[in-house]
Chain A
Amino acid sequence: MASYPAGYKYTKDHEWLELSGDRGKVGITDYAQQQLGDVVYVELPELGAKLKQGQSFGTIESVKAVSELYAPVSGEVVEVNAALKDKPEIVNADPHGSWMIVVKLTNAGESDGLLDASRYQDLVK
Chain B
Amino acid sequence: MEQATEAPLKKTPLNARHRASGARMVAFGGWDMPVEYSGIVAEHMAVRTRAGLFDVSHMGQIEIAGKDAVAAVQRISSNDASKLAVGQAQYSGLLTGQGTFIDDLLVYRLAPAHFLLVVNASHIPKDYAWIAEQIKPAGDAVAVDASSRYALLALQGPAALDVLQPLTGVELAGMKYYWFANGEVASVRATISRTGYTGEDGFEIFVPPQSADRVWQAILESGKAADVIPAGLGARDTLRLEAAMRLHGNDIDETTTVLEADLSWIVGWKKDDFIGAAALREQKANGVTRKIVGFEVLDRGIARQGYDAYVGGAKVGVVTSGTQTPFLKKAIGMAYLPAEHTAAGTEFDVDIRGRRTRARVVPMPFYKRPK
Q: In the bound complex, do residue B353 and residue A63 qualify as a contact, i.e. CB atoms below 8 Å apart?
A: no
What sequence of 0s and 1s flags, for each residue 61-94 of chain A, a beta carbon within 8 Å of any chain B beta carbon? 1011010000000000000000000000000100
Tell me the number of A-to-B contacts counted with CB atoms below 8 Å.
35
Contacts of A63 in B (CB 8 A): 40-41, 234, 238, 323-324, 326
Contacts of A64 in B (CB 8 A): 1, 35, 40, 234, 237, 323
Contacts of B39 in A (CB 8 A): 37-38, 92
Q: Report how far A41 CA is from B322 CA in the complex, Å.
A: 14
Contacts of B302 in A (CB 8 A): 40-41, 61, 66
Q: Report how far A61 CA is from B234 CA in the complex, Å.
A: 15
**B151: shortest Cβ distance to chain A, in Å?**
25
Q: Is B270 an interface residue (CB 8 A)?
A: no
**A35: shortest Cβ distance to chain B, in Å?**
8
Contacts of A61 in B (CB 8 A): 301-302, 324
Which of A38, A59, A64 has the most C-beta atoms of chain B within 10 angstroms of its own C-beta?
Answer: A64
Q: Report how far A63 CA is from B353 CA in the complex, Å.
A: 16
Contacts of A37 in B (CB 8 A): 36, 39-40, 234
Write the chain B residue with the least CB distance to A40.
B324
Contact residues, A12-45 vs B (CB, 8 A): 37-38, 40-41
Contacts of B114 in A (CB 8 A): none
Q: Report how far A92 CA is from B301 CA in the complex, Å.
A: 19
Q: Is B358 an interface residue (CB 8 A)?
A: no
**B321: shortest Cβ distance to chain A, in Å?**
12
Contacts of A41 in B (CB 8 A): 300-302, 324
Q: Report how far A38 CA is from B39 CA in the complex, Å.
A: 7
Q: Is B48 an interface residue (CB 8 A)?
A: no
What sequence of 0s and 1s flags, for each residue 26-40 of chain B, a beta carbon within 8 Å of any chain A beta carbon? 000000000110011
Write the chain B residue with the least CB distance to A34.
B24
Contacts of B234 in A (CB 8 A): 37, 63-64
Contacts of A59 in B (CB 8 A): 353
Write the chain B residue with the least CB distance to A35.
B24
Write the chain A residue with the least CB distance to B35.
A64
Q: In the bound complex, do residue B353 and residue A66 qualify as a contact, i.e. CB atoms below 8 Å apart?
A: yes
Q: Report how far A38 CA is from B234 CA in the complex, Å.
A: 11
Q: Report how far A43 CA is from B71 CA in the complex, Å.
A: 56
Q: Is B18 an interface residue (CB 8 A)?
A: no
Q: Is B291 an interface residue (CB 8 A)?
A: no
Further contacts, 20 of them, CB under 8 A, given A38-B326, A59-B353: A37-B36, A37-B234, A40-B302, A41-B301, A61-B301, A61-B302, A61-B324, A63-B234, A63-B238, A63-B323, A63-B324, A64-B1, A64-B35, A64-B40, A64-B234, A64-B237, A66-B302, A66-B304, A66-B353, A92-B39
Residue ranges of A at the interface with B (Cβ–Cβ < 8 Å)? 37-38, 40-41, 59, 61, 63-64, 66, 92
21 contacts between A and B (CB under 8 A): A37-B36, A37-B39, A38-B39, A38-B40, A38-B41, A40-B302, A40-B324, A41-B301, A61-B301, A61-B302, A63-B40, A63-B41, A63-B234, A63-B238, A63-B323, A63-B324, A63-B326, A64-B35, A64-B40, A66-B353, A92-B39
